[in-house]
C-alpha cells in the first residue's frame, strides 16, 4: 500500500471521512464497481470496526446529508476526504458534472478554490497514468 496518513486521524474523524466518501460516491445516483472497490479500500484504511463498516456500506443506499457527513471534521480531515473523493470519482476514469460540483462545494467550505480542485483532479489523472505504466510493464491489459 502507498504511504497514507488517514489512520492518524481520530476515530471520529475517520468515521466522518468515510461518511463523506459515501455521500460523494452516491452523488451521481449510482455507485459503479470501480468506485465501490475504491470505497472498500478506504474503509480498510480507516481502521474502523466491522460494525461501523457495515453502517457505512448501508449509507451508500441511504446517503447521509452533506452537513451530517462533515460534522466535526477539521480542515485536515476534509482535505484528505477531498483527495480520496477525487480518486474515487475518477476510479471509473470519468467524473460527472454532479461529482465535480460536489467536490468544488466541499473545497469551498474549507477555503479551497475551484482551481485547487482542478489541480487535484489533474494529480489523480497523473497517478492513474503512473499505475497504467505498471500494468504495461507487466503486459497486463486493463
The pLDDT score that the predictor gives to residue 30 is 84
Does the 6-137 domain belong in CATH 1.10.3680?
yes
What pLDDT does residue 82 have?
A: 96
Sketch the domain layout of the chain as residue ranges: 6-137
- Which residues does the chain have with pLDDT short of 70? 1-2
C-alpha cell at 126: 497523473
**Rg, C-alpha atoms of the chain:** 15
- Residue 38: predicted pLDDT: 94
CA neighbor of 120 nearest in space, from 129, 110, 107: 107
Instruction: Tell me what pLDDT residue 2 has.
Output: 62
DSSP secondary structure, 2-46, as one string: ----GGGS-HHHHHHHHHHHHHHHTTTS---HHHHHHHHHHHHHH
The pLDDT value recorded for residue 28 is: 80
Per-residue confidence (pLDDT) for residue 27, from 0 to 100? 85
Amino acid at each position: 500500500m502507498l504511504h497514507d496518513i488517514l489512520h492518524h486521524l481520530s476515530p471520529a474523524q475517520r468515521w466522518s471521512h468515510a461518511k463523506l466518501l459515501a455521500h460523494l460516491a452516491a452523488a451521481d445516483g449510482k455507485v459503479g464497481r470501480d468506485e465501490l472497490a475504491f470505497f472498500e479500500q478506504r474503509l480498510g484504511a480507516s481502521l474502523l470496526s466491522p460494525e461501523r463498516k457495515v453502517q457505512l456500506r448501508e449509507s451508500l443506499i441511504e446517503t447521509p446529508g452533506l452537513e451530517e457527513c462533515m460534522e466535526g471534521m477539521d480542515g485536515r480531515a476534509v482535505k484528505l476526504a477531498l483527495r480520496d473523493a477525487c480518486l474515487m470519482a475518477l476510479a471509473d476514469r470519468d467524473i460527472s458534472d454532479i461529482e465535480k460540483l460536489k467536490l468544488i462545494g466541499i473545497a469551498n467550505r474549507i477555503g479551497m478554490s475551484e482551481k485547487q480542485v482542478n489541480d487535484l483532479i489533474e494529480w489523480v489523472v497523473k497517478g492513474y497514468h503512473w499505475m497504467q505504466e505498471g500494468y504495461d510493464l507487466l503486459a497486463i491489459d486493463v
